[in-house]
Structure 1
Amino acid sequence: METPPQTALVLAAQAGDESAFEILVGAYRRELLVHCYRMLGSLSDAEDLVQETLLRAWEKRATLTSPQSYRAWLYRIATNLCLNRLARAPRRFLPSETHPPSDPSSPAPPRLREPIWLEPFPDDLLAAPEADPEDRAERSERITLAFLMALQHLTPVQRAILLLREVLEWEASEVAQWLHLSVPAVNSALQRARRALRQRNVGSEVQMALPRQELQELLDRYVTLWEQADIPGLVALLREDAWFTMPPLPVWYQGRAAIATLLQTSLFPPGLQWHLLPTRANGSPAFGLYRRKALADDYQLVGLMVLEVERAQIVSLVAFLEVSSLSRFALPPLLEDR
């Protein structure tokens, strides 16, 4: 059966046809989720805001005067809801942005569970499986943890303008109308946002991506070394200034020596075994972290490790240890002993 044109769906939805509305908004749920996640840095908050966006769209469906602009109308609703949320919510960072480097030989402080940390985003939600590979790649580039951290340093309005103008490529006049600003104000905010990202080396550096086969060999070696608790081997894969953090623990460690000490003292004690389950998050290779204590029957999911790789070296390791934030990843809570 041929899908009705968008204009027909909009008109049917405005007349109260709920099935037409569901077909109409179904095409935009995924991209709205990505947009709200970029704005908020939280997948759970983004899911809430997408639901609220669609509820508002249904309630206010009669106010849309241009059916051809339905997608833009949804983005306008979503962006303003995100700005309202950001007006009363703290910015989300990683510990490397909020705390000084930690001493790997000291006990870790208690977890900070307030909503102050970035949350990971599953690559499976970035684009539909049938999407163009180039589109999927572009979406991945604009959702890395480095990009998300840089966005947090912008004001909410600057963040919205950068995403709407640079990522979604809306016209300055449209963005100005949506945000109740002048076009010069939008252009000025965009320039400030671009400058802030350049200062953090986001968007200006040349990424030296490894060929797929070489990257896979590196990741396979990483898994083997981690599961064997081979600390010298793991450290050899790191860039000299690599860093490692584990939110919600407010700690981070930089440099091969510090990370080696952390692995020795905290992560690889006698009797503890690990298994890594490959996945992808934030456009990067990632692994479900499974731990089995001595005498236990199964491996238990304890977190998600996201890696950043440049020039055949690992430059950052972010272990998200709040398991409740991983519900949208295809990671079983337990794995049987192999």
Structure 2
Amino acid sequence: METPTQIALVLAAQTGDQKAFETLVGVYRRELLVHCYRMLGSLSDAEDLVQETLLRAWEKRATLTSPESYRAWLYRIATNLCLNRLARAPRRLLPSETHPPSDPSSPAPPRLREPIWLEPFPDDLLADPGADPEDRAERSERITLAFLMALQHLTPVQRAILLLREVLEWEASEVAEWLNLSVPAVNSALQRARRALRQRNVGSEAEMILPRPQLQELLDRYVTLWEQADIPGLVALLREDAWFTMPPLPAWVQGRAAIATLFQTSLFPPCRQWHLLPTRANGCPAFGLYRREAGADDSQLFGMVVLDVEGTQIVSMVAFLELSSLSFFALPPTLPHVLKGE
């Protein structure tokens, strides 16, 4: 339910007050971006759809009959725009969903533009920084790469219903009206979506969360070992069944031995140096990967790796190598030597 101030802004916007409209939608822009990203798996596409949502809201402002339901009206527009986009777009996945495990001793395959891949989401755009820590943690759980991958295996309508009912907690009657469905159809689709997520072990049980000091210690050790090219040390931080992939390379490996071999053959040849710059993506710790070849003056941005940590071990590493997908992150294109302590 909107506050009296927001309702006043709605009424002003409906009369053509563009400043009131911009003030009003500024409150909802970030959460709409997260919603569209969950629907689409792409931050760049989500940004486009939010812009289109706000354009539609401005053009159709006079048709809103319930100013107190403005937020719901925006979500209705955004969700249907996402469904229209998904009707003509393939699912966004990761290589572990599209290809068999790779031979870690073989040369890396060429990059593929199809299938289109999931894109990372910066935590800086997630929620209000002043929100309750528990609320922030719950929201981040609903934007992890594991959750996004599971959503991709739902039909677009199931995806929308799950997000609107489970994540955003709209009433079934509202969702039914927005999607032109019956309430029983919405409830049935929600049950199928829940079963699909359980089958992929998403949200099925509470995971052990490492206290912040211990997590930071683990991450600091990860950085040190990577920058020292200490492959045995790095592998020791992994769970035995950990997996690693580098979209848009259509390759992935699983298990400590396979990851160690891949590191040895592809990422840590002699005369290459790495520097890691901490960030966060999809509710998880992440690092910008900067590579410096022998004789180069600077370290060049190579990609960004997102870690999934359970307990005291790393269970997955997804290295996004498509630099265009990192444009929303505060990662400089180069790092000079002085930042490497040289």
TM over 0.5: yes
Moved over 4 A (4+): none
Aligned-residue Cα RMSD (Å) equals 1.0
Alpha-carbon contact 2:303-2:322 (below 8 Å) kept = yes
Q: 2:47 aligned with 1:72, yes or no?
A: no
Listed one character per residue, the Cα deviations across residues 189-237 of structure 1 (whole Å, up to 9, x for unaligned) are 0000000000000011221000111110000000000000001101111
Please state whether the residue corresponding to 1:130 is helix, strand or coil.
coil
Alignment of 1:59-98 (within 5 A): 59-98=59-98
Instruction: Give the aligned partner of residue 190 of structure 1.
Output: 190
Q: Distance in 2 between matches of 1:286 and 1:7?
A: 40
Q: Distance in 2 between matches of 1:315 and 1:88?
A: 34
Q: Distance in 2 between matches of 1:128 and 1:296?
A: 40
Aligned partner of 1:237: which letter? L
Instruction: Give the aligned partner of residue 245 of structure 1.
Output: 245
Where does the alignment leave 5 or more consecutive residues of structure 2 unmatched?
Answer: none
TM-score (norm 1): 0.98
Listed one character per residue, the Cα deviations across residues 234-271 of structure 1 (whole Å, up to 9, x for unaligned) are 11111110000000000000001100000101100011
Q: Distance in 2 between matches of 1:134 and 1:65?
A: 35
Please state whether the residue corresponding to 1:208 is helix, strand or coil.
coil
Q: Distance in 1 between matches of 2:63 and 2:243?
A: 50
Please state whether the residue corresponding to 2:208 is helix, strand or coil.
coil
Shift of 1:130: 2.1
Shift of 1:115: 6.0
- Greater Cα offset, 169-178 or 130-139: 130-139
Q: Distance in 2 between matches of 1:131 and 1:244?
A: 33
Please state whether the residue corresponding to 2:229 is helix, strand or coil.
coil
Aligned partner of 1:10: which letter? V
Instruction: Give the aligned partner of residue 267 of structure 1.
Output: 267
Shift of 1:107: 1.2
Alpha-carbon contact 2:40-2:86 (below 8 Å) kept = yes
Please state whether the residue corresponding to 2:185 is helix, strand or coil.
helix
Q: 2:258 aligned with 1:258, yes or no?
A: yes
Please state whether the residue corresponding to 2:241 is helix, strand or coil.
strand
Shift of 1:109: 1.2
Q: Distance in 2 between matches of 1:189 and 1:319?
A: 33
Q: 2:213 aligned with 1:213, yes or no?
A: yes
Q: Distance in 1 between matches of 2:209 and 2:129?
A: 22
Q: 2:141 aligned with 1:145, yes or no?
A: no
Alignment of 1:174-189 (within 5 A): 174-189=174-189
TM-score (norm 2): 0.97
Instruction: Give the aligned partner of residue 320 of structure 1.
Output: 320
Please state whether the residue corresponding to 2:72 is helix, strand or coil.
helix
Shift of 1:136: 1.5
Please state whether the residue corresponding to 1:116 is helix, strand or coil.
coil
Instruction: Give the aligned partner of residue 286 of structure 1.
Output: 286
Instruction: Give the aligned partner of residue 135 of structure 2.
Output: 135
Instruction: Give the aligned partner of residue 109 of structure 2.
Output: 109
Alignment of 1:152-191 (within 5 A): 152-191=152-191
